[in-house]
A = this chain, B = another copy of it.
Amino acid sequence: MAQAIDLSPKKQPQQARARASVEAMLDACTRLLVDEGYEAVSTNRVAEVAGVSIGSLYEYFPHKQSLVAAALARAMREVMDEVGRSLRTALALPHQPHDGIDHWMRGMIAALEQRENLLRVALREVPFFWSIPEVREFSRTLQKFGKEGQYKSQRVIHFEDPEASTYLLMNMTWAAVLQTVLHRPAHLSRERLTRTLVDMVLKLL
């Protein structure tokens, strides 16, 4: 099992030139993850693709894991931002609750779809993915979003155990969205799954 490693970067770039180099490294790492999977990511190749030398890479990242973690953390922050934005516009919609749920689901699906291959690799191949702070935070934020949505739309799930049901609802929904994007069977279109998912969530509220 993946044991705890320090995933933090080594030192921060000070000048613009160096910041560009680090960005290039992260871009290259992301590209390799997407195109060839985690096993194919070697520090030498990342440096090559980024157009910097291997020595420069180790200026800013103490080891391979911290590089991959930084690339994934950046992506997760982007996803989280988009999901948060789509929640806020969903809550501002006049025709609650169907339209709100619908908008939010589509927002989440769109956010994932843009990074489909990266997320697939991250979730299925990167051993320390769940140790990345941004990923842990993502789960927490998702829970917060769930409560926020219920609160603002004046709807609460009425089960014996509200805390457990909110938790499960969010996780099931998230899993279904992930499934829809990453693992959808050919005979079920994204549209059909989205519509049905919205119906199911409404039924649970």
Cα–Cα distance between A83 and B38 once the two chains are bound (Å): 32
Determine if A117 and B193 form an interchain contact, defined as CB atoms under 8 angstroms apart: no
Determine if B164 and A196 form an interchain contact, defined as CB atoms under 8 angstroms apart: yes
Determine if A171 and B167 form an interchain contact, defined as CB atoms under 8 angstroms apart: no
Pick from B1, B124, B171, B183: contact of A120, CB under 8 Å: B1
Distance (whole angstroms) from the CB of A36 to the closest CB of chain B: 7
Pick from B117, B124, B173, B199: contact of A159, CB under 8 Å: B199
Determine if B199 and A160 form an interchain contact, defined as CB atoms under 8 angstroms apart: yes
Residues in B whose Cβ lies below 8 Å from that of A179:
168, 171, 175
| A110-125 CB contacts (< 8 Å) to partner B | 117, 120-121, 123-125
Cα–Cα distance between A129 and B124 once the two chains are bound (Å): 8
Cα–Cα distance between A185 and B200 once the two chains are bound (Å): 25
Distance (whole angstroms) from the CB of A139 to the closest CB of chain B: 8
A165 at the interface (CB under 8 A from B): yes
Residues in B whose Cβ lies below 8 Å from that of A161:
192, 195-196
Residues in B whose Cβ lies below 8 Å from that of A123:
124
A18 at the interface (CB under 8 A from B): no
Cα–Cα distance between A166 and B7 once the two chains are bound (Å): 41
- A 35-50 binary contact with B (CB < 8 Å = 1; else 0): 1111100000000000
Residues in B whose Cβ lies below 8 Å from that of A176:
168, 171-172, 175
| A175-205 CB contacts (< 8 Å) to partner B | 175-176, 179, 183, 185, 188, 192-193, 195-197, 199-200, 203-204
Complex A-B, nearest 4 residue pairs according to Cβ-Cβ distance, in ascending order: A175-B175, A172-B172, A164-B196, A125-B127
A130-B183, A165-B196, A165-B199 are known; give 14 further A-B pairs, CB within 8 A.
Answer: A1-B35, A1-B117, A2-B37, A38-B127, A124-B129, A124-B130, A125-B126, A161-B196, A163-B188, A164-B188, A164-B193, A167-B188, A167-B193, A168-B200
